[in-house]
Structure 1
Amino acid sequence: MNEHFNDIFVTTGCPTQQQLLDYVQGKLSAEERHEVEMHLTDCEFCSEALEGLSNIKDKEKIPGWISEMKWDLLKKLRKKYRTRRKTENYISLAVIILCIIFLVLAIFWAYHFAVKH
């Protein structure tokens, strides 16, 4: 994945998505489970994420859904980024064209006044 669209859990002290999934699926050791539970007491975001994961009946399908959602979001972000870049390119092109027009007009006026005097 592009570094502009990193996983939000990577840059925080929060458990990874995989740790939360393993917690919900009961795959963590007692020590890892305790660490996640300690974090959940202080982090509302992770608590709500865990609550949402816990409400899903087919927990084995969660990783596929997450992967699919990530790719969908990434596609939308890239499309938005490309659209913004295209707009910036058009603005740059317009500025360059205006500069050329003003330069041509300045040369015309300078030549016009030089010939008349």
Structure 2
Amino acid sequence: MSESLKDILSNLNPDIDQETLLQYLQGKLSAEQQHEVEKQMMDNDFESDALEGLEGFSDKKKLSSVLDQLNYDLKQKTLKKKKRRGKPELSIDPWILVTVLVILILVITSFFIIHRYLQH
């Protein structure tokens, strides 16, 4: 999975970068820039809801650290899922291998003994 897909804000709208969204949420953009961001975000209900949810934070200064934590958690969870999807490791106990080998030797030896006995 690409790193950009694991960044929460970067996927809201490809035309707006994360820094601009953070500045918008912290109220650091001019009125014209705010209007442009709102106009671009209104086209998609999901983006609008996400922006509305982020606007609900009481301490806008901590928003950057909250987003960093969300991105970190998202990366960790996707990494865990990726590891689970990999090939499962087979751990075979050495005693099982020895037992199977002994049984195979006994079966093969028995076959040859029975085969020789039946030919005479």
TM-score by length of 2: 0.60
Question: After the TM superposition, which parts of structure 1 deviate over 6 Å for at least 4 consecutive aligned residues?
Answer: none
Alpha-carbon displacement from aligned partner over 1:73-115 (angstroms, at most 9, x marks no partner): 111111111121133x65xxxxxxxxxxxxxxxxxxxxxxxxx
Distance 1:64 1:27 in 2: 17
Structure 2 partner of 1:83: 84
Alignment of 1:43-54 (within 5 A): 43-54=44-55
Alignment of 1:1-117 (within 5 A): 4-6=2-4, 7=7, 9=10, 12-87=13-88
In the alignment of these two chains, the number of paired residues is 98
Secondary structure of the 2:58 match is coil
What CA distance in whole angstroms lies between the structure 1 residues aligned with 2:34 and 2:22?
A: 11
Which of 1 and 2 has higher RCO (CA within 8 Å, sep 6+)?
A: 2
Task: Give the stretch that moved more between structures: 77-86 or 10-19.
Answer: 10-19
Question: Could you tell me how far apart the structure 2 residues matched to 1:12 and 1:52 are?
Answer: 15
CA contact (8 A) 2:25 2:54 kept: yes
Shift of 1:12: 4.7
Q: C-alpha separation between the residues in 1 aligned to 2:66 and 2:52?
A: 16
Cα RMSD (Å) of the superposition? 3.5
Q: Quick check: 1:14–1:46 contact (8 Å CA) kept in 2?
A: no
Secondary structure at 2:42's aligned position in 1? helix
Of 60-69 and 35-44, the range deviating more from structure 2: 35-44
CA distance in 1, matches of 2:66, 2:79: 20
Question: Aligned AA for 2:2?
Answer: H
Q: SS in structure 1 opposite 2:79?
A: helix
Which structure shows the bigger proportion of residues in helix conformation? 1
Q: Deviations over 1:38-93 (max 9, x none)?
A: 11221222211221121110110011011111111111111111121133x65xxx
Larger Rg belongs to = 2
3-state SS in 2 of match to 1:27: coil
